[in-house]
Structure 1
Amino acid sequence: MQSTHRIYCFLLYIFACLPIGCIDRNEKPLEIVEAPVKVHDTNVAPDTEPIVPIMSRVAWQKPSLILDRLSEDLSHKKIADIGAGPNGFFTFWMAQEGADVIAVDIDPEALKYIEQEKANLDSTRQSRITTRLARPDDPNLRAAEVDGILIVNTIAFIQNRSKYLNLLKTKLKEGGKIVIVDFKMNRLPAQIAPPKSQRIAPDVVEELLYQAGYHHIVVDDQELQYQYIVTAEK
């Protein structure tokens, strides 16, 4: 019931922020469907950045479930959203949950969009969001700066994953968590998932985290229809 209430409140917030000119009065009320978007990921190779159409994202991705893997209570937790662009989906969701979010991306335009949307929030939620421009090989985070790290639809595009995950571990506080979400390797709808060549298997992510020295690594490929969730601790 709590998760349902959280989703309902967030959808009301998204709907309220839509520009009037973008609302089709002939559409069913509160049916929120995201248009195709370009996925801007921290560490995406410039020539492989995909166009991933996403429809009814809340229904199939279950953001509240994913964020519960970081913490059941995000209030006052500092979380880095790696690959936050292009629309800051999880950045805004986490801020709504009370987290202090660092939206990290290598694309200045993605961060500009997040800043523009941030201006529509009340002052409390505005204060919870910081944007930070990163390099492909450096998330631009300070040592032990964050309580948690979220990487959604991004890990497959990181070129030197082993080195990057080792670096990210230094940015986590002791006991901090990292949550990695990406698409399963089986056949998935083309309007939802990128090609298999732009995905990475969960067992590969698990091994990378193990080699990087993370602990309590858990792979969940059952909760979500199209994606897996890998969690680990520093």
Structure 2
Amino acid sequence: MGRLTDAIKHLLIINVLFFVATQLYGDQMYLWFSLWFPESSNFRWWQIVSHMFMHGGFMHILFNMYALWAFGSPLESAWGRNKFLFFYFSAGLGAALLHTAVNYYYFNEGLEALVNSGVSRSQVLETLKNGQYSPGWNDIVGRDTVDGMLSAFNTPAVGASGAVYGVLVAFAFMYPNAELMLIFLPVPIKAKYFVPLIILGDLFFGISGANTGIAHFAHIGGALIGFIIMWYWKKNQFNKNRWN
């Protein structure tokens, strides 16, 4: 966890450039490059990738970039640039897919509840696409259901966290006995225990529906794809020379 490898260096630079541009252009950057719900008028196909380079604040990008450097550099050194980039973006795409799938669940739960209560589907969709909602919906299907639908539709996802979670899983596969520490628990924990612990935390908060402002299922999606790829590579004794 010392040398700055080639792919990591370029990923850091691109993330910093996006962050600086976000500070300069603000909301317009979030409209263009965050990952919006596919039914939203703000959605664009490139957001599936571009959201990985967007961050919500200085601490957000700081923690993600530190983790990318600390855990990604040993992987790139072991695998090579191309294999690492394939893995990184695969985990990021997995994060986007699971996050969007969960949003579809909450969105459709609210939409179907309203439709079954006699509200026109087209009316609901048109209202949402205009950036509005009807307070009367709360009385019809309950505030929690409406809040879940609105959050899924209106809240964009940003950050490299999903891809970084995939990197964490790969690190635990490659270096299971490396000792790591949580900020709030300054006791060394082996990677093979540390990584499952933080993923279980995301799973708990994601299922509980806690309003933490964190896309927990994006983290889980990145970790899941990371696990599947590492399991496949290990099972098939993947030849890293293919990526050179």
TM-score class, shorter-chain normalisation, is under 0.3
TM (norm. structure 1) is 0.27
Tell me which protein shows more helix as a share of its residues.
2
Tell me which protein shows more strand as a share of its residues.
1
Q: Considering only CA atoms, is the larger Rg found in Structure 1 or Structure 2? A: 2
